[in-house]
Amino acid sequence: QLGKLRTQGCDVRAVLGKQATKKIAKILTAARVSLVRRPVQQNVLFVKGKFGKAKVTRAWVGGPSWTDKGLVSDGVTLVVNDGSAAGYLQQFYRVFKGK
């Protein structure tokens, strides 16, 4: 799905922490999704634009529950809407660039 969004013109990038498996990286690479590996413990998915029928700025922030360890993890996902979500995007780009 991320590869499909990329081909439709979306800026799709991934920062993979140590918990992300090689299989996940291989799937993203095959879909030509830009990715980097960083020593992070937090996963962030950010959408700015059309989501369903609404225009949104939204971030989903979580822990290991977004990996294959999710079935045995107590990770929590936080959904951040609109104005305050922009801070997560700035942080994402900082980590993606390695700064």
Q: Model-level pTM greater than 0.75?
A: no
How buried is residue 81: exposed, middle or buried, by Cβ count under 10 Å (0-12/13-18/19+)?
exposed
Residues 3-24, mean pLDDT to the nearest whole number: 82
pLDDT at 29: 92
d(CA 60, CA 64) in angstroms, rounded, equals 13
pLDDT at 30: 93
pLDDT at 64: 61
Q: What six digits make up the tokens of 84?
A: 């305050």
| Residues 28-83: tens digit of each pLDDT | 899 988 888 988 877 777 777 777 777 778 877 776 655 565 556 666 677 787 77
Q: What six digits make up the tokens of 63?
A: 């822990």
| Cβ–Cβ < 8 Å for 61, 43 | yes
pLDDT at 16: 84
d(CA 72, CA 28) in angstroms, rounded, equals 24
d(CA 73, CA 26) in angstroms, rounded, equals 23
| Cβ–Cβ < 8 Å for 27, 2 | no
